């Protein structure tokens, strides 16, 4: 008889501990992706490489996250959540130390890949744990509770990283991410039991991975994954472009770190607003509202690109985009993962992999574009248009069943 397995209906985990653990699992990978943005020009000089090489390590990190999420989802359905996620967070912490000690950009890039492979465990298995414990309504409520903090982390981490870089070095922020990984592993080891009993696991790992083709032909999964892909593509595209744009506008490293603060504020506002309206409105209808906000943000960025662009109009326009992301993303995760309860880990991993691949492609494309606000505005507008057109089309696809879940 297996011990240390939780009966989700009688969970004894303190709510505060559970929420903190879920935040660390979900946010650690996002913190690591952005924490070195203010120090990226300094790292490029230290390694003797162009800044585009550092931008590509950012893209490599996102690819690592995508690969990790594709693997951890089915593995956690077959072998359980707990041991995999603890091991993943310890790997993340060790690789973070490796990033801080890297002697050149090649070693740095390799350490970033390993860091991402560890971080992916927390991101995908954390979402699957929520699905194990809660039904669709409570899962959506939980996601919209933790996502304001998680969503703020990519915007707050450059601020933290900027200060650490300014007062210590560009290497020191990675020691901060190592501490996050160790804290998450300790909380998991002490407080969080296994949430998938052996009787509920998929005994055949090959069969577990074969759930991917089944999921990939589901219009419902694609509709929610599409929103994640669009949201992350525009956001990560901006993060990749912003160091070049802001340095070109004459801003210092410390000043650049402040330029990400409004993004965290608007993301939190978006989360809290969707949480409020999800109590009385369907998920799909609210996603439609989020797409309208995203289109407004793209239009604002186009307006900001005219003449000689300055930081404030560009940041305000991107803040509208992050407002839309904060509004849509937790609803999309909740809708996608709870739609496939028998394959929650695989669904979570697949959605995570797809939106990280989209983000990685966005970073690569933006790095190849001219370093101008106009080029960024054209990219954001094109991606937003894809979301606004494709989501309603997918909802009308044969095999779609309307999701009318609301959050209590």
146 within a domain of the structure (yes/no): yes
pLDDT over 70 (residue 207): no
pLDDT for 77: 78
pLDDT for 333: 79
406 within a domain of the structure (yes/no): no
* Low-confidence winner among 97-111, 212-226, 313-327 (lowest mean pLDDT): 212-226
pLDDT for 407: 35
In the chain, how many domains are there? 1
The listed range with the strongest mean pLDDT (153-157, 276-280, 374-378) is 374-378
Up-side HSE of residue 258: CA atoms within 13 Å toward CB? 6
71 within a domain of the structure (yes/no): yes
Q: What is the DSSP letter of 5?
A: B
Average pLDDT rounded to a whole number, residues 371-392: 93
Beta bridge partners of 5: 194
pLDDT for 139: 73
Q: Would you place residue 376 in the very low, low, confident or very high pLDDT band (cuts 50, 70, 90)?
A: very high
What is the domain range of residue 220? Answer: 13-194+207-395
CA distance 163 to 323: 25
pLDDT over 60 (residue 3): no
Which of 269, 239, 268 lies closest to 256 in space, CA to CA?
Answer: 239
pLDDT for 268: 84
Q: How many CB atoms lie within 10 A of CB 239?
A: 24
49 within a domain of the structure (yes/no): yes
Q: How many CB atoms lie within 10 A of CB 77?
A: 27
In the numeric block, the tokens 């933006």 are attached to 366
Average pLDDT rounded to a whole number, residues 148-161: 78
* Bigger pLDDT: 196 vs 191: 191
In angstroms, what is the C-alpha Rg of the chain? 20
Indicate yes or no: pTM above 0.75: no
Q: Is 401 exposed, middle or buried (0-12, 13-18, 19+ CB in 10 A)?
A: exposed
Burial 16-44 (b: 16+ CB within 10 A, else e): eebebbbbbbbbbbbbbbbbbbbbbbbbb
201 within a domain of the structure (yes/no): no
Helix/strand number for the chain, H first, E second: 16, 0
One DSSP character per residue, 252-283 reads -HHHHHHTTHHHHHHHHHHHHHHHHHTTTS-H
Q: What is the DSSP letter of 336?
A: H
In this prediction, what percent of the chain has a pLDDT beyond 70? 89
8 within a domain of the structure (yes/no): no
pLDDT for 405: 38
pLDDT for 289: 93
pLDDT for 234: 93
284 within a domain of the structure (yes/no): yes
Q: Would you place residue 91 in the very low, low, confident or very high pLDDT band (cuts 50, 70, 90)?
A: very high
Average pLDDT rounded to a whole number, residues 13-21: 85
Which of 319, 360, 339, 317 lies closest to 139 in space, CA to CA?
Answer: 339
Q: Would you place residue 9 in the very low, low, confident or very high pLDDT band (cuts 50, 70, 90)?
A: very low
Q: How many CB atoms lie within 10 A of CB 368?
A: 10
Average pLDDT rounded to a whole number, residues 245-261: 84
Looking up residue 63, the CATH number of its domain turns out to be 1.20.1250.20
pLDDT for 65: 82
pLDDT over 90 (residue 321): yes
* Low-confidence winner among 20-24, 49-53, 129-133, 368-372 (lowest mean pLDDT): 129-133
pLDDT for 400: 58
Q: Would you place residue 136 in the very low, low, confident or very high pLDDT band (cuts 50, 70, 90)?
A: low
pLDDT over 80 (residue 172): yes
Within 8 A by CB and 6+ apart from 191, the residues are 13, 14, 17, 18, 21
* Bigger pLDDT: 99 vs 7: 99
Read off the tokens for 364.
Answer: 């690569």
pLDDT for 89: 96
* Bigger pLDDT: 209 vs 375: 375
pLDDT in tens, 346-357: 777 788 778 888
322 within a domain of the structure (yes/no): yes
pLDDT over 90 (residue 251): no
pLDDT in tens, 31-81: 998 898 888 889 999 999 988 788 788 878 888 888 887 788 778 877 888
pLDDT for 406: 37
Q: Would you place residue 301 in the very low, low, confident or very high pLDDT band (cuts 50, 70, 90)?
A: very high
């Amino acid at each position: 008889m297996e011990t240390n397995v939780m009966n989700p209906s009688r969970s004894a985990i303190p709510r505060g501990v559970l929420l903190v653990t879920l935040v660390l699992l979900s946010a650690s990978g996002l913190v690591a992706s952005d924490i070195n943005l203010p120090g990226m020009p300094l790292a490029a000089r230290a390694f003797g490489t162009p800044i585009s090489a550092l931008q590509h390590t950012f893209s490599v990190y996102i690819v690592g996250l995508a690969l990790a999420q594709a693997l951890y989802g089915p593995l956690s359905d077959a072998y359980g959540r707990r041991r995999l996620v603890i091991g993943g967070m310890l790997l993340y912490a060790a690789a973070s130390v490796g990033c801080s000690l890297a002697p050149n950009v090649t070693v740095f890039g390799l350490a970033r890949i390993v860091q991402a492979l560890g971080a992916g465990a927390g991101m995908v298995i954390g979402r699957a744990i929520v699905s194990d414990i809660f039904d669709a309504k409570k899962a959506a409520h939980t996601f919209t509770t933790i996502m304001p903090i998680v969503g703020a982390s990519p915007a707050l981490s450059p601020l933290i990283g900027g200060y650490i870089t300014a007062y210590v070095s560009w290497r020191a922020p990675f020691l901060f991410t190592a501490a996050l990984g160790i804290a998450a592993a300790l909380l998991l080891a002490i407080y969080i039991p296994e949430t998938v009993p052996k009787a509920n696991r998929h005994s055949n790992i090959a069969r577990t991975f074969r759930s991917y083709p089944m999921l990939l032909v589901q219009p419902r999964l694609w509709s929610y994954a599409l929103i994640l892909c669009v949201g992350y593509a525009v956001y990560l595209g901006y993060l990749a472009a912003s160091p070049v744009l802001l340095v070109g506008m004459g801003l210092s490293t410390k000043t650049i770190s402040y330029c990400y603060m409004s993004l965290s504020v608007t993301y939190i506002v978006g989360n809290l607003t969707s949480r409020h309206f999800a109590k009385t409105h369907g998920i799909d209808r609210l996603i439609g509202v989020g797409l309208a906000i995203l289109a407004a943000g793209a239009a604002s960025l186009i307006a900001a690109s005219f003449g000689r662009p300055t930081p404030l109009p560009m940041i305000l326009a991107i803040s509208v985009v992050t407002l839309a992301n904060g509004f849509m993303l937790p609803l999309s995760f909740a809708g996608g993962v709870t739609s496939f309860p028998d394959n929650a880990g695989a669904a979570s991993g697949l959605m995570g992999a797809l939106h990280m691949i989209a983000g990685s492609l966005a970073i690569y494309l933006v790095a190849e574009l001219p370093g101008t606000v106009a080029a960024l505005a054209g990219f954001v507008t094109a991606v937003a248009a894809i979301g606004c057109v494709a989501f309603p089309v997918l909802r009308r696809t044969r095999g779609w069943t309307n999701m009318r879940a609301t959050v209590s």
